[in-house]
């Protein structure tokens, strides 16, 4: 009788520490079933009958393809258009006003959405700018959106969405910016071309150094998956990625004041956001 492969407590600890070093994500004991299920799935896909054999592949495969496949499986991509819309209102009503007021050149305004997930946030930002920011005619805006998950980036570039993802999009905007494709809606090509998608591991310093000179960063509901050390390191990387005076928006359950002292708290009428000081302290 064949023995079914299993993940021991020791295996789980080894994997958890390894994955944490690679991604900054720390799986609590309560996530054990979630982790085990996905490890066993990848073990079967790579014909590894033991965790030891699979873990060797994961650590030493030259291409890193299996690690990326596992990362894609482990990441959670649950979002929808205009989530926490008050921050978009803050973008067009307050943050961009400050940014253009002190701008001394015609360099593009750069907005970074990370993680991109399946693209609802960056496309939503683009729609919001088109609909609610009159100065868009006078300024070039670059929207870059990044994720660690290569599969979700492909999905984001396609821009195909179900009714559920679009539940908060008003009918006029649905007709204006989307087209029906079978049972789904697809972002129109002109809007898809307005967003640049890139792969980034926010826990990798080299990856983060390649993304610089942003005026606004949206990083919502990512840091809740990190421990305190990873949160602080990632916050420092975002600080370096921002222009002086730039802003970062976090999820409603996240507070930069509990993560890093580098940023100033800004309480705008629409939302609380965090700002990189104009001058070094």
User: Does the annotation list 221 as a binding residue?
Assistant: yes
The residue written with tokens 């100065």 in the block is: 135
User: Does the annotation list 102 as a binding residue?
Assistant: no
Give per-residue burial for 190-217: e unless 16+ CB within 10 Å, then b: ebbebbebeebbbbeeebbeebeebbbb
Short-list 19, 17, 26, CA closest to 58: 19
User: Does the annotation list 3 as a binding residue?
Assistant: no
The DSSP symbol for 272 reads E
User: Does the annotation list 220 as a binding residue?
Assistant: yes
Active-site position among 16, 42, 110, 147? 147
**Residue 110 is among the residues annotated as catalytic for this protein:** no
Enumerate residues 6+ apart whose C-beta is below 8 A from 63.
none
Active-site position among 32, 36, 38, 192? 38
User: Does the annotation list 59 as a binding residue?
Assistant: no
User: Does the annotation list 121 as a binding residue?
Assistant: yes
**Residue 38 is among the residues annotated as catalytic for this protein:** yes
Short-list 234, 257, 215, 264, CA closest to 97: 215
Query: Is the link from the previous residue into 227 a cis peptide, with omega within 30 of 0?
Result: no
User: Does the annotation list 29 as a binding residue?
Assistant: no
Positions marked active-site: 38, 147
Question: Residue ranges for the binding site for S-adenosyl-L-methionine?
Answer: 77, 79, 83, 121, 147, 220-221
Binding residues: 77, 79, 83, 121, 147, 220-221
């Amino acid at each position: 009788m064949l023995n079914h492969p299993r993940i021991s407590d020791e295996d789980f600890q080894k994997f958890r520490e390894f994955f944490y070093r690679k991604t900054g994500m720390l799986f609590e004991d309560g996530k054990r079933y979630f982790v085990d299920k996905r490890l066993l799935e990848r073990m079967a896909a790579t014909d590894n009958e033991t965790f030891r054999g699979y873990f060797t592949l994961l650590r030493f495969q030259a291409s890193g393809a299996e690690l990326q496949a596992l990362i894609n499986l482990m990441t959670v991509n649950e979002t929808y258009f205009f989530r926490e819309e008050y921050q978009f209102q803050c973008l067009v009503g307050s943050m961009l006003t400050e940014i253009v007021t002190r701008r001394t050149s015609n360099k593009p305004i750069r907005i970074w959405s990370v993680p991109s997930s399946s693209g609802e946030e960056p496309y939503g930002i683009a729609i919001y700018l088109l609909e609610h920011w009159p100065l868009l005619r006078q300024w070039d805006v670059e929207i870059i959106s990044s994720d660690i998950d290569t599969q979700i980036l492909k999905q984001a570039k396609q821009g195909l969405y179900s009714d559920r993802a679009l539940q908060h999009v008003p009918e006029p905007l649905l007709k204006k910016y989307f087209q029906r494709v079978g049972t789904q809606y697809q972002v129109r090509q002109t809007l898809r071309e307005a967003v640049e998608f890139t792969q980034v591991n926010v826990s990798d310093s080299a990856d983060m150094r390649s993304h610089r000179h942003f005026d606004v960063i949206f990083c919502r509901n990512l840091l809740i998956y990190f421990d305190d050390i990873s949160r602080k390191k990632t916050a420092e990387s975002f600080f370096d990625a921002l222009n002086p005076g730039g802003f970062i928006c976090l999820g409603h359950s996240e507070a930069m004041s509990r993560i890093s002292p580098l940023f100033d708290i800004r309480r705008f009428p629409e939302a609380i956001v965090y700002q990189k000081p104009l001058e070094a302290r």
